[in-house]
Structures are given as C-alpha cells and as structure tokens.
Amino acid sequence: MTNGPQASVAHSEQRSRRTDPTARGTAAVPPVELLAVDDPRWSAFEGELDRAGVPLALSSRLAWSELLAARRAQLVAVRDADGAPSVGVAITASSSRALPGHEIWRVERLGLDVPIASLVRAIDAIALAARRQPRVLMVETTVVTPDEQRRRAIGAALAALGFRRRNVHERIYRRTITLGLTTGDTASLFAALPENTRRKIRLPTRRGLELREIDDPAYGTRLDALVRETMARTGGHASPMDWSAIIELCRGHPGRSRLIGMFVAGSRDPGDLLAFSWGCHHGEYAHYDAGGSTRRADVNAPLAYALLWDLVIWAKTNGARWFDFAGVTDGTPGSDPLAGISDFKRHFSQDERLVGEEWVLTPHRARARVAAAVSGAARRAREWRARAERRAAAVSAGADARGPRSGSARPVAAMVRRLARGIATRVASHGEFRVYAMPADHARSLPGGEELARDAEDHLGRYGPDEPWHPAPEEHARVVRARLSSGSHVYTAVVDDRLAHWSWLTAPARSLDTDLGLPPYPLPEGSAVLWDDNTIRAARGRGLHTQSIRRRARDAATMPGVDTVVIGVRANNVTSRHNIEKSGFRHVASLHVLRVLGARFTWMRRARTSP
C-alpha cells in the first residue's frame, strides 16, 4: 500500500459517526483500524472474529495476504459499540500497468452475514483512505451473496459513498448454482442427488483411481498443465497461479483451503495426477475456485464429479451453510463454450441464484482517465498485433497448402509477427525492477537450503540450455569460470542428473544490476547481492528457488563485513517476488522505465512503510 493508515483512521472515525446509526446517542464507537500485514493486531483480530463466530472471507485472512497477495494488504478492522469484533475486510493492492507508480485496490467478497452498519463503516474507511492517497487509481469491490435484501443494502451503501456499479463483470460471476448444507447429514445430502450423479461420484474409485490431497509443491508444473489443457477445451485463458503458496495455505489452514486431486491409485508420479479442484471457505459458505483435468484413453471414468463432491462435504464438515459452484451461464453447446460446464454443475443442484455484483470507485478521476487512455492505446496495439499475426499465420498456411513455395512464406510471416510486436512495444510499455533487502541479523536465522551445493564444479558440467536466452554450454562455462575467479559463489541443485537450478551470491557488492537497461542500483557498504537465479522448467514447483534464496542469504550474513543482503526482481515476475517476500525480504525501492512512442523515461521510487 502507498501510505500509512493512521491519518485515514481518524478521519474515517469522524465520518463513521455520521453514517453509523449505532453511534448516535450511545457510547463512543471504537475507531476503525487499518492493520498492516506485519502488525500483530491483524492476527489477534482474526482470532477474535473466529471465536465470536463472525465469518471472514478467505482473501481477508492474514495467511492469504502473506502467501498470495505479496504482503501488499491491509485489514480494515471494525468493532461494535461494546468493543466486540464486528467486521474484517482486507484491501489488497496491485501495481497499475497503465500508470507506473500507481495502484489498484481490490476488496473481495463482501456479502457475508455481518452487521450492515459495521460493514458501512468499513466501506467508508476504505473509500476515505483511497481518496487520501493520490496514487490509488481505482478501488474494485465484489459482492457475493444470494440474499437479495443484503445485496441491495450493501449496494446502497457503496453507491452512497461514490462507488458505481459495473455493468460488465470482470472479476465475479452474476449467477451461480448453490447447494444448501444446513439440513441433514452428509449421507442424506448424497441421497438427495440424482442417481446418475451419485453413480458418477462413485465410479472413479471402482476404476482404480483415488482422491488425495495435493500436499507437495512438486505437483505445481502438472497443475499448470492441467489448467492449460482445460482452458484450451473451452477457449479460456490460463492465468498463472502460485501453487506452492496455495499448497502452503492448505497445509496451514486445512479448514479454509483444500486442494484435492484425482490420482491413479497408489501413484505419486505427477503424470498420474489426472484432475484437481481447489475450494475456498469463508465461514458462511465455501466456493469452488479452480480446477483442471486431462483426458486419457486408458481412463474410462468421469473425474470432476467426485472432486467437486469432496469439496461439498469438506465445506459442510467445516461449518458452511451453503456451497457456491462458482458461476453458470445459460448458453447452449455450440454457442457457449461454458455451457457444458454449467450443465455439469446443475447435476448437483437446480437452485440457481443471482449472487454477484461488482462496484468501482475512482477516487482521483483525472489520473484514472489518463490510465484509461494509456490502457486503451495498449489494448488497441495488442489487437493490431493479434490481427497481424493471424494474417501472417494465414499467409503461412496458404503457402503450406500450395506446397513448394511454403518455405519462402514462413520468413515473411515471422517478419510480420516481429514487426507487430515491435510496433505494440513502441506505442507504450512500462517496466519495473523491484529491490528487496534484509538485515544480516535476520538472514542468519533463515532455515532450509541444505540440498543446494556451493561452487560444485561437477554440478556445472550437467548444464544444458532450457530457455532461449540461456547461453550455449561453452559460453556458460566461460562465464562461470570468470565469475568464480572474481570471488562470486554459485549455488546449484541437480534433478534427474541435470542441472536444475543455479544462482549467484556476491559479497561485498557496491551495486545491483537490473535487466531493464537501467543504470545499476547503488548499494551502501556492507551489502551482499543475490542475483542471476535460474530454475529449469521441469524442476519448477519444487521450492528450489525459495531454498536457494534462504541458503544464500544465510551464507552471506556470515561473511565478514556484511550488514545487508539485497536481491532484485522484475515486478511482473510474480512467482519470484512471492518467494523473495515470503523469505522475509522487504521492498525498499523500485526502478521504472516507461517507453511511449519511442520516448524513454526512467525514475526511481523509494518504498513506503506500508505493505
């Protein structure tokens, strides 16, 4: 976040007394508090809510903010007139790609069964905090509840505070299938399903498959592959997900997050993970969040029914009152690529409800208009590039159909694609390089990393290029020798007799190089630098990068004269940023480069104290 909370809290309290009817003629209402991730009061308030039975969205829990929101969050903590915990809502910040140095705030899944007056105070505090911080471009809010009266009350409060309702949803579905979980036990719930659905739930175990929790980050690459395969069938886009963080969340909070997989019985080989589902629990209800599957000729059984039913039973066992199947459409097969998935969800329930709304606040409209203009120009450039690439592909395909002349068409098609990408980049592009630091005293106590070797020449002989930018083996060996002779240290890990990870430590260091063509970032005396981290694709998801960061930081802290350990990463490298931040590094500065129509602008911004 871009600013400290204290000023916002005091003003929010003044406005809350005007909007909260419980504050009139009664004792003073405790002020609304905005708590940072590193504030111990967040965890304490969360515990108070749980003990009082007040529902809290999973995305508003501290563990979510630490693991999946890059620690860029604040909790809006609201108490009632008696001082009892009443509402907890998290604000998560993300950097704007359209306007460098600015943020978009997101508030997810309002609509839980909490006092409306207290929720209004929370929304009021969020709106006021956004207006007081000039670099907040937008506050995006989602509301999810099947209770129409509650949804209208929240909408009225949002509208009164300057939010506008979004007509075209971007983050949440409007309608979903719901299944009530409050009546009867799990056996009666199962018995109420259609006979064909019950049969499909049971069938996988009869065909040699088994359900099992996914508890090893090594499955991350396989999970990504299943998502991509599933999205390819429906024409969707597969967004990257941090499976290591999700698995860690499930381990720490098994009643709030569950990642379940369908495996070939007895196998732990990633290739024998055939399907998965991820569920999130918010106290009042749980929802299906993500899933994927493959289609294998040797597996003659439906996979998704048993996975989804497992999440339903898990939700009921952990106190949910209803289950949200995460949206449906009303299209027909052929015209709607999601029609088949929607029909699959209707096998579990016919209770289709309107649940979702999106609301947006633009606290600084002039800046928001500039961001919209830049974003629109970039979108039009991407569309132009996509059209050019499609035309190039058509030219290439036509040449292939004609036969012998196809070879001459391929270079033309490639040239058009490169030209399209170049034009889009020249219209508008922004890069950010983030610098992180950790005191040596903290680094000395970091655990892990024992499986990595230091300066192991036998490991380096197993190197092979894995990415287009990786050098040839001969060039790589020359670079390694030069770096080792200069006093740097290389840390390596071998998987399946291949160099799977390599990364570097230099101490002392006077500067940190970036990969955006920016000047090096100057460092004070007593600094050590972690740099040039590489993990081959086949070894990602095993935690090697995190272990390497911690091992190198710990080793650096023991070197004479080292006071601070520094590491840098591109802002759009979300996975690496997460690994750095969960290891305890703090963001200290960002180096920016903005290119617009050929002009190049660079600047540096120091990090603020808030997450």
Task: Specify whether 62 is located in the same domain as 156.
Answer: yes
Tell me: pLDDT of 94 over 60: yes
Establish if 358 belongs to a structural domain.
no
Task: Specify whether 517 is located in the same domain as 478.
Answer: yes
Task: Specify whether 580 is located in the same domain as 595.
Answer: yes
Within 145-284, where are the H helices? Answer: 148-160, 186-191, 195-206, 220-234, 243-252
Establish if 456 belongs to a structural domain.
yes
**Helices (H), strands (E): how many in the chain?**
18, 24
Establish if 563 belongs to a structural domain.
yes
% of the chain at pLDDT higher than 90:
60
pLDDT tens per residue across span 218-253: 999 999 999 999 988 877 777 778 999 999 999 999
Task: Specify whether 225 is located in the same domain as 263.
Answer: yes
pLDDT tens per residue across span 71-87: 899 999 999 999 999 99
Tell me: pLDDT of 113 over 80: yes
Please report the DSSP string for 90-154 in residue order.
EEEEEE-SSSTT-EEEEEEEE-SSS-HHHHHHHHHHHHHHHHH-TTEEEEEEEEE-S-HHHHHHH
State the sign of the Cα–Cα–Cα–Cα dihedral 238, 240, 246, 247: positive
Tell me: pLDDT of 159 over 70: yes
Chain Cα centroid distance, residue 173: 18
Higher-confidence position of 141 and 594: 141
Question: What is the overall mean pLDDT for the chain?
Answer: 86
**Cα separation, 159 vs 136, whole angstroms:** 19
Q: Which of 300, 293, 286 is nearest to 341 (CA)?
A: 293
Task: Specify whether 164 is located in the same domain as 97.
Answer: yes
Tokens of 28: 């003073």
Backbone angles phi, psi at 405, to 5 degrees: -85, 0
Instruction: Give the mean pLDDT of 511-538.
Output: 90
pLDDT tens per residue across span 263-310: 999 999 999 999 999 999 999 999 999 999 998 888 888 999 999 999
Task: Specify whether 422 is located in the same domain as 438.
Answer: no
Residue linked to tokens 């002392």? 508
Cα angle at 551 between 545 and 556, to 5 degrees? Answer: 125
Residue 406: per-residue pLDDT: 43
Domain count across the chain:
4
Are 518 and 417 a contacting pair, CB within 8 Å? Answer: no
**Cα separation, 85 vs 396, whole angstroms:** 64
pLDDT tens per residue across span 352-385: 999 999 999 999 888 777 777 776 676 666 666 6
β-partners of residue 278 are 259, 290
Tell me the CATH number at 589.
3.40.630.30
Tell me: pLDDT of 397 over 70: no
Are 550 and 448 a contacting pair, CB within 8 Å? Answer: yes
Instruction: Please give the biggest Cα pair distance in the chain.
Output: 89
Q: Would you call 377 exposed, middle or buried from its count of C-beta atoms within 10 A (0-12, 13-18, 19+)?
A: middle
Task: Specify whether 298 is located in the same domain as 310.
Answer: yes
pLDDT band at 396 (very low <50, low <70, confident <90, very high): low
Tell me: pLDDT of 408 over 50: no
| Radius of gyration for the alpha carbons in the chain, expressed in angstroms and rounded | 26
Of 409, 428, 447, at which residue does a domain stop? 428
Residue 30: per-residue pLDDT: 86
Q: Would you call 463 exposed, middle or buried from its count of C-beta atoms within 10 A (0-12, 13-18, 19+)?
A: buried
Domain range enclosing 583: 432-606
Tell me: pLDDT of 199 over 90: yes
Task: Specify whether 12 is located in the same domain as 160.
Answer: yes
Are 87 and 112 a contacting pair, CB within 8 Å? Answer: no
Establish if 363 belongs to a structural domain.
no
Cα angle at 142 between 136 and 143, to 5 degrees? Answer: 140
The residues near 34 (Cβ < 8 Å, ≥ 6 apart) are: 5, 8, 9, 74, 75, 76, 77, 91, 125, 129
Establish if 439 belongs to a structural domain.
yes
Are 79 and 49 a contacting pair, CB within 8 Å? Answer: no
Tokens of 567: 């590491």
Half-sphere exposure of 550 (CA within 13 A, CB side): 18
Task: Specify whether 451 is located in the same domain as 595.
Answer: yes
**Cα separation, 485 vs 29, whole angstroms:** 66
pLDDT band at 425 (very low <50, low <70, confident <90, very high): low
Residue 421: per-residue pLDDT: 56
Q: Which of 237, 22, 52 is nearest to 116 (CA)?
A: 22
Establish if 356 belongs to a structural domain.
no
Establish if 294 belongs to a structural domain.
yes
Task: Specify whether 136 is located in the same domain as 12.
Answer: yes
Of 150, 174, 198, at which residue does a domain stop? 174
| SS3 call for 268 | coil
Of 174, 193, 215, at which residue does a domain stop? 174
Query: At residue 249, what is the residue type?
Result: L
Task: Specify whether 69 is located in the same domain as 188.
Answer: no
Q: Which of 52, 171, 28 is nearest to 113 (CA)?
A: 52
Instruction: Give the mean pLDDT of 20-40.
Output: 71
Q: Give the H or E element holding residue 314.
A: helix 304-317
Establish if 30 belongs to a structural domain.
yes
pLDDT band at 24 (very low <50, low <70, confident <90, very high): very low
Task: Specify whether 302 is located in the same domain as 413.
Answer: no
pLDDT band at 593 (very low <50, low <70, confident <90, very high): confident
Instruction: Give the mean pLDDT of 192-209.
Output: 94
Cα angle at 158 between 152 and 160, to 5 degrees? Answer: 100
pLDDT band at 392 (very low <50, low <70, confident <90, very high): low
